[in-house]
Amino acid sequence: MKAIQKVPGKQTLGSEILNSLNASSIAVRQRTLNGSISCNGVGLHSGAEISLRILPAEENSGIIFKRSDLSNSIIPGNWKYVVDTQMCTVLGNSNGDKVGTVEHLMAAFAGCGVDNATVEINGPEVPIMDGSSACFVEMIRDSGVVELDEARRVLRVLKEIEVSDQGRKVSLKPSNRPEFGIQIVYGDHIVSHQSISLEVVNGSFCKELAEARTFGFLQEVEALRAAGLALGGSLDNSIVVDTEKGRILNDGGLRQKDEFVRHKVLDAVGDLYLSGGQIIGKFEGYCSGHNLNNRLLQALFSDKKAWIWDVPSDREATFAVDGGIVALNSSTT
């Protein structure tokens, strides 16, 4: 195993719970990267050229973002630090430092079973890459993952929680697996109505969701850019739908016939991973988005009878969320 340096100013999330668990008595342990990985790309909304580096982190660290272009800028990847949800999920700290468009990277961490990592970034948002999580998944696979000594914790949903707003709604219900069911409804003939329901287990995220790209509408581009959004958007990183001519502008069209709704699931996986761990429960969304996803976590954590931090059972360990990546054992490397 490569040496893991302690991150200065590291935020520890829930260590008082994790320290009480006996890691040797269960099959699932926390994971981090086996080495550092990096990439460069454009920010979808800022249009800035951004460099990103992801480093291994110690157990109980969670996901931590560090703005390398700012002094002592640390932002925990946690729902409590969400400061904006317009078009993407933005995290911020008390100093006013922000990092946006975190959802695709968070989804890759969730889908590949990465519990702890430090993300160094020299700009205001995670680079959009191709508009999906595929590039991040490939980077994680290239690095490999390593098991740590502490037990993995999961957030078990104990009762139904629902949030709605003007006909849109999201909910979490008890389940013995991480499940996602989403329906989207648009007024055009390209996206139209789509729905999907699937379990995010045994590598299914990487197989079914990781390549689904973000999408937008040609007729909305001018207004978005006037508002300072989508400045880095292009056919290289987004599906662009021309509703007037009823066509998709990207060469090659869609990667999957229901790529639109699959991307909404990808977003939800990333947004919910800001809970601090994998959620064992069923998420359902109707015309959902980043704002409702975050409000759902707020509602969940505000009701202490609706959740519990737990460790995966032996049965649950057989369908662990690991992206199909075989982890190294830290005690043998």
In angstroms, the CA 74 to CA 68 distance is: 9
Given strand 74-76, what is the order of strands in its sheet?
37-42, 49-56, 117-121, 63-67, 74-76
195 located within any domain: yes
21 located within any domain: no
- CA neighbor of 88 nearest in space, from 99, 101, 104, 105: 101
Q: Provide the domain limits for residue 180.
A: 29-322
CATH number at residue 152: 3.30.1700.10
For residue 207, give the DSSP letter: I
62: tokens are 């969670």
73 located within any domain: yes
292: tokens are 């409702």
pLDDT value, residue 5: 34
146: tokens are 């390593």
9 located within any domain: no
pLDDT value, residue 329: 65
Phi/psi-derived region of residue 60, left when phi > 0, alpha when psi is between -120 and 50, beta in every other case = left
Catalytic residues: 290
168 located within any domain: yes
2 located within any domain: no
Q: What are phi and psi of 70, to 5 degrees?
A: -120, 160
287 located within any domain: yes
Under 8 Å CB-to-CB from 223, ≥6 apart: which residues? none
In Å, how far are 79, 196, 292, 323 from 179, measured between CA atoms?
20, 11, 17, 15
This prediction's pTM: 0.89
- Measured in whole angstroms, how far is the alpha carbon of residue 31 from the centre of its chain? 16
Question: How many domains is the chain partitioned into structurally?
Answer: 1
329 located within any domain: no
Q: Is the dihedral of CA 39, 41, 45, 48 positive or negative?
A: positive
Q: Chunked in runs of 10, what are the mean pLDDT values of the chain (333 residues)?
A: 33 34 55 97 94 98 98 97 97 98 98 97 97 98 94 95 98 96 95 96 92 95 86 94 95 97 98 97 98 99 98 71 68 43
For residue 147, give the DSSP letter: E
In angstroms, the CA 286 to CA 322 distance is: 27
